[in-house]
Amino acid sequence: MKGRKLLMIPGPIEFDPEVMQSMAIPTPSHVDPDFIATFGRSLEMMRRVCQCPSGQPFILAGTGTLAMDSVGACLTEPGDLVLVISTGYFGERYAELLKRYGAVVDILRAETGNMVPLATVEARLREKKYKMMTFTHVDTSTAVLNDARALGALGQKYDVLTVLDGVCSVAGEEIRQQEWGIDVVLTASQKAIGVPPGLALFVVSPKAMEAFKNRRTPVANYYGDWAHWLPIMQAYENREPSYFGTPAVNLIIALEKSLDLILKEGLEERFHRHRRTGQAFRAAMTALGLKMIPTSESLSANTLSAPYYPEGMKAADLLGHIAGAGIIVAGGLLPDIKGQYFRVGHMGVVNRNDLLATADAIETALRKCGASLETGTAARTIHQVLDGRV
């Protein structure tokens, strides 16, 4: 294909051609029996992808922000105490969003490139009785990976509802929602789930559903109110027609295909593949002399990387050269250091060739900007890591 570009940003990502083809059909009715079955199977597979057999999945037309909004609106009431653990841009967003619904929000902010130490979180939970705690699994602005398992355990220990923003992690990073005791896992279609933008997805634990049912006040959000959507999700799983708002029919057809491909690959294999991809890409960037935002390997996300520009190099020049090679990467997102780093998504169907092309484009761009690097440094590193030679 002439003029073909490789989209290596943290969402939307490159989608599997099978997924794209699956949705290129005349739109059926939202109560067509075949579509009802597709919706029902997608809900069942969401439960499996989040590893939460007793959870209630929701699939709504909207984006990841709508998933955050609906969960925030349904689980908080005016005056509720909420702890937001912020590792960057999307933590700040969650705090702002929750305040709109009258929540009293405390924020624990991580140092850039780090997570909030677990001891700090625990000290807070011991000090005050929070109703809910939110955290970003992979912060898309810093590429920091939070310790979801440990945070889930703290939520259990202090009887606090835990909400994991997994928009940049679900179906890429390891998540065992039920085993780890996480009450809500939320995500969107266009990142590691591998479907074009337009679906808000989340899975709710029985405990969080109970908290919702015990509300004293009405939900201050009409579209996102679970009271509207729960009967719809249940109807689809029972293979019965229903209506509240028209579902994004073709996107849900694509979702069924993509979830099926994800489960066929196998979750363990998929987590492993993403870990290796992340390791290989980080190693290549390090070999090129770039410093990453996350301060250690164990804090590094595997779905995207966030390298700093070399000292004194012009961001626009470097990104321009990378784009000139047909590779689309993303600029910085965290307000304080926006101009000092860039971001590369490597989740979903990304393969060795994509990694090689991207890392080589970055190497060539660095050289054009004046860096002295031996040709093939990045590619050699990627092969070494993916072949298990280091």
In the complex, which residues of this chain contact ligand PLP (CB under 6 A)? 11, 63-65, 90, 136, 140, 165, 167-168, 188
Beta carbon nearer to ligand PLP, 140 or 377: 140
Phi, psi of 312 (to 5 degrees): 80, -5
Any bridge partners for residue 105, and if so which? 82
Q: Which residue has the tokens 């066929």?
A: 264
Closest approach, Cβ 138 to ligand PLP, in A, equals 6
Q: Where are the alpha helices (DSSP H) in the chain?
A: 17-23, 33-49, 64-75, 89-100, 118-127, 148-157, 206-213, 226-237, 249-265, 267-287, 315-324, 352-368, 377-386
Residue 353 burial (10 A CB sphere; 0-12, 13-18, 19+): exposed
Closest approach, Cβ 75 to ligand PLP, in A, equals 17
Closest approach, Cβ 388 to ligand PLP, in A, equals 30
- Rounded Cα distance, 182 and 343, in Å: 28
Beta carbon nearer to ligand PLP, 164 or 382: 164
Beta carbon nearer to ligand PLP, 77 or 165: 165
Residue nearest to ligand PLP (CB): 64
Beta carbon nearer to ligand PLP, 203 or 365: 203
- Dihedral Cα 228, 231, 234, 236, nearest 10 deg: -80
Residue 215 burial (10 A CB sphere; 0-12, 13-18, 19+): middle
Beta carbon nearer to ligand PLP, 154 or 192: 192
- Rounded Cα distance, 114 and 98, in Å: 24
Closest approach, Cβ 303 to ligand PLP, in A, equals 9
Beta carbon nearer to ligand PLP, 171 or 385: 171
For residue 279, the SS3 value is helix
Question: What b/e string do you get for 167-188 counting C-beta neighbours within 10 Å, with b at 16 or more?
Answer: bbbbbbbbbbbbebbbbbbbbb
For residue 331, the SS3 value is strand
Cα–chain center distance at 345: 11
Q: In this structure, what token pair is assigned to residue 370?
A: 């004046």
Closest approach, Cβ 90 to ligand PLP, in A, equals 4
Closest approach, Cβ 64 to ligand PLP, in A, equals 3
Beta carbon nearer to ligand PLP, 199 or 288: 199
Closest approach, Cβ 173 to ligand PLP, in A, equals 11
Closest approach, Cβ 66 to ligand PLP, in A, equals 7
- Rounded Cα distance, 251 and 236, in Å: 16
Beta carbon nearer to ligand PLP, 11 or 57: 11
